[in-house]
């Protein structure tokens, strides 16, 4: 059974058009570790290795452990984009998105 981490790693890797081998190289971890993670066979991983994988996928470590049920690569990309904006711009963009959703 895949975990939330497994699904996120797999989806983000595919969205970035990376092979398991390419992701492993970028993250400086073994190919078998990435493969086991994606199959949901991960029972124990160091924070350092998980951080390396997150960085290689343009994610943050906290993306693997959301405080709220914010999951999925597009949701995380949107949250990361909003987080990167200055507060005033973030509010304008958020307001615009909400207006679009109400159409």
The pLDDT tens digits for 35-78 are 999 999 877 889 999 999 999 999 988 888 766 666 678 888 88
Q: Residue 69's pLDDT is what?
A: 67
For tokens 């949901």, what's the residue?
40
In this prediction the pTM is 0.67
Q: Residue 19's pLDDT is what?
A: 97
Cβ atoms 45, 37 nearer than 8 A: yes
Q: Residue 33's pLDDT is what?
A: 95
CA 54/CA 12 separation, integer angstroms? 10
Share of the chain above pLDDT 70, in %: 92
What residue ranges in the chain does DSSP mark as E strands? none
């Amino acid at each position: 059974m895949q975990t939330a981490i497994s699904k996120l790693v797999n989806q983000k890797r595919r969205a970035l058009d990376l092979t398991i081998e390419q992701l492993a190289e970028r993250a400086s971890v073994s190919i078998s570790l990435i493969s086991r993670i994606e199959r949901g066979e991960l029972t124990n991983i160091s924070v350092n290795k998980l951080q390396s994988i997150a960085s290689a996928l343009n994610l943050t470590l906290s993306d693997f452990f959301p405080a709220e049920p914010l999951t999925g690569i597009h949701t995380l990309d949107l949250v990361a984009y909003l987080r990167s904006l200055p507060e005033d711009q973030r509010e304008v963009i958020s307001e615009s998105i909400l207006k679009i959703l109400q159409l």
